[in-house]
Amino acid sequence: MERDIKSLDLDELAELVQSLGQPAFRTKQLFQWLYGHHVRSWDEMTNLPASLRSELASSYPLRTGSVVNRQVSKDETRKYVIEFHDGACVETVAMPTFSSDAPDRLSICFSTQAGCAMGCSFCATGKEGFTRNLTIGEMIDQIVIAQQDLGMRASSLVAMGQGEPFLNYDNTIAALHIANSPQSLNIGARHITISTCGILKGIQSLSHEPEQFTLAVSLHSAEQQVRDRLMPSMASVPLERLKEALNAYREKTNRRVTFEYIMIHDVNDTKQALEHLVSFCSGMLCHVNLLPINEIVGSPYHPSSSRTMKHWVETLSRNGIETTVRHSRGSDIAGACGQLKNSL
């Protein structure tokens, strides 16, 4: 069976080059063409022998995702529906920020899976079901496509699009290593965030990675019954065990964890919910991002009031918990958190 060359990690590329009887420096050349120059055909790899290119092309196709839909929000956020060779589609969101009316920074939210198996009740992606894991190259393709469309380099990345990154851990981490590499996208590890619903094995594995990637956890409630209702696939992971895993992560890495908390009126924004969140965050090195839920067609959920948001920020801050209200961008093109579902 043919295997896409961009599905191989760096060690596998080196093994392939060696198996073909080529000198080790060919691995670096191959990497540079794939992830430094982002070429779309073997013929563009001009410093590789023609015989090697022909041999690689016969067994390792060079595939690149293509944009089948592109939308631009009134806030300049861009959303792309990207299709891969087998018809699987994902959504990628590019969020430029401006200084003196000119774009000066670019954050890209990319997907790690086509669809999602987590089934969170507030998220449109989960309602579409799960298709498959993405390859290393398919993740990098999303970033490159957005950069080229905007004509600027990404300054930060967020693995927070479709899918649960820790259910595709090896490919996701390999893609982040490439994004961080000076020979590729050269994005600082501290500017790369990986978001999880709370997969304990993934949290533990990330604590052993040498790079200082940022960990974000989709919490959404510190009340067990409420979280189980919002995130049924995580019901097997008690909040107590999640907190233990995050404290162990902090002890190993000395890095802060970010909690993503979507605020839903009369669901997880009550007085009791706030008390539970304060208690859960107590003693942890963490930052809380509060996000008013984005409206989704057919959803029974509605965002918390601005008064409630203000009260939560004041209470959390008073208890020594760093808190930010984050307003999602691109909601008018269904490109905000929880809205991604490959709409054309």
Confidence of residue 333 (pLDDT cuts 50, 70, 90): low
Mean pLDDT of the region 244-254: 97
81 shares a domain with 18: no
CB atoms within 10 A of CB 195: 21
Q: How many domains does the chain have?
A: 2
Helix, strand, or coil (residue 195): strand
pLDDT digits (tens, 9 = 90+) for 188-200: 999 999 999 999 9
Mean pLDDT of 81-109: 90
Residue 33's domain comprises 5-59
Average pLDDT score over residue span 289-305 = 87
275 band by pLDDT with thresholds 50, 70 and 90: very high
Residues 164, 107, single domain; the answer is yes
Domain termination site, one of 59, 77, 101: 59
Q: What is the pLDDT of residue 328?
A: 67
- What pLDDT is stored for residue 48 in this prediction? 95
Helix, strand or coil, per DSSP, at residue 29: helix
C-alpha to C-alpha distance for 245 and 196, rounded to whole angstroms: 13
Q: Look over the chain and give the mean of its residue pLDDT values, rounded to a whole number.
A: 92
Q: What is the CATH number of the domain that holds 49?
A: 1.10.150.530
Sheet hosting strand 102-110, strand order edge to edge: 66-72, 78-83, 89-99, 102-110, 156-159, 192-196, 214-218, 257-263, 286-292, 322-325
pLDDT of res. 186: 96
Known catalytic membership, residue 164: no
Q: What pLDDT band is residue 38 in, cutting at 50, 70 and 90? A: very high
Does any domain span residue 107? yes
pLDDT in the model for residue 331? 59
Residue 99: phi and psi, rounded to 5, are -135, 120
* pTM of the predicted model as reported, rounded to 2 decimal places: 0.92
Average pLDDT over residues 49-60: 94
- The per-residue pLDDT for 106 is 96
Asked whether residue 343 carries a pLDDT value surpassing 80, the answer given is: no
Q: Does residue 34 sit in the same domain as residue 162?
A: no
- Alpha helices of the chain — where are they, by DSSP H? 10-19, 25-31, 50-59, 124-127, 136-150, 169-180, 200-206, 224-230, 239-253, 271-281, 306-318
In a domain, 281, yes or no: yes
Percent over 90 (pLDDT), the chain:
85
Residue 139 lies in a domain: yes
Q: What is the pLDDT of residue 123?
A: 86
Question: Is 107 in the same domain as 161?
Answer: yes
**pLDDT confidence of residue 265:** 95
Question: Is residue 126 domain-shared with residue 260, that is, in the same domain?
Answer: yes
The answer, yes or no, to whether residue 329 has pLDDT greater than 90, is no
For range 286-309, the mean pLDDT? 89
- Claim to verify: residue 115 and residue 50 sit in the same structural domain: no
Largest CA distance in the chain: 69
Annotated active-site residue in 123, 281, 286, 337: 337
The mean pLDDT of 152-169, rounded to a whole number, is: 96
Q: Judge whether 55 counts as a catalytic residue.
A: no
Q: If DSSP codes are grouped into helix, strand and coil, which group holds residue 182?
A: coil
Based on the domain organization, do 29 and 99 belong to the same domain? Answer: no
- Asked whether residue 339 is assigned to any structural domain, the reply reads no
Cβ neighbours for 96, distance < 8 A, ≥ 6 positions apart:
76, 77, 78, 103, 105, 106, 107, 150, 152
Residue 162 forms part of a structural domain: yes
Beta-bridge partners for 258: 216, 287
pLDDT > 60? residue 90: yes
Task: Evaluate if residue 104 carries a pLDDT over 90.
Answer: no
- Check pLDDT > 90 for residue 128: no
Least confident of 86-90, 122-126, 128-132, 316-320: 122-126
Check whether 103 has a pLDDT greater than 80: no
Q: Assess whether 129 and 39 both reside in one domain.
A: no
Residue 12 binned pLDDT confidence (cut-offs 50, 70, 90): very high
- Please tell me whether residues 269 and 213 are part of one structural domain: yes
- Residue 173 maps to which CATH number? 3.20.20.70
Per annotation, catalytic residue among 89, 91, 123, 223: 91
pLDDT of residue 299: 78
